Structure 1
Amino acid sequence: MVAYPNPDGLEIHFAQIAGNADLGDLWEAARSVGVKPGTIRVWVTRGKIEPVLDGEAGQYFHLPTIQRAAAGGAKYKPADPAANSRGPHAHAA
């Protein structure tokens, strides 16, 4: 199950016919949310998003879905942003 599913295929098809430019390749998807293309690939691998089209010509994504996924943030947010695997950092007083 994808965390941020794409809209129905017919909805995307009719949006394309109407001239709606909501589809973009990997680079356009990354640019639309200010991340690197590798981040988009990681989101696909981890099941956060999925491409609308995936074939020999490359992957294409629904840009509003990408934007929702980016706004959703990470699944895990530590209580203390300074914490790491060794525990919280000591703060100098």
Structure 2
Amino acid sequence: MPTFPNPELYDLYLDDLGDLWEAARVAGVKPGTIRVWESRGKIERVPFSDDGQPLYHLPTIAAAAKVKPGRPKAA
């Protein structure tokens, strides 16, 4: 299960979906980073696309981008 799961399919809006490049722009990272996040289970693709290209829920991508990598600091 991804760290940042997408909302249920019936809660998705087309305006909130974007391709790899839009997801990278929203997150402020390179497209390769989005692919790494997906392969490591941080995010997931939206399970449907008319033309076969991967789509991502952009608000979920933005939330995932706010979390900085690395270990948390000791209290």
- TM > 0.5 between the two? yes
TM-score (norm 1): 0.69
TM-score (norm 2): 0.84
- When you count strand as a share of all residues, which structure comes out higher? 1
Q: Are 1:53 and 2:47 matched, yes or no? A: yes
**Structure 1: segments with no counterpart, 5+ residues:** 80-93
Q: Which residue matches 1:70?
A: 65
Q: Are 1:3 and 2:3 matched, yes or no? A: yes
Does the C-alpha gap of structure 1 residues 73 and 53 become closer, same or farther in structure 2, counting only changes over 3 Å? same
Residue 39 of structure 1, aligned match among 17, 33, 41:
33
Identity %: 53
- Matched residue pairs, number? 72
The one of the two structures with greater contact order (alpha-carbon pairs below 8 A, sep at least 6) is: 2
Q: Which residue matches 1:23?
A: 17
Alpha-carbon deviation of 1:78? Answer: 7.2
**Structure 2: segments with no counterpart, 5+ residues:** none
Structure 1 residue ranges, 4+ long, deviating more than 2 angstroms after superposition: 53-57, 76-79
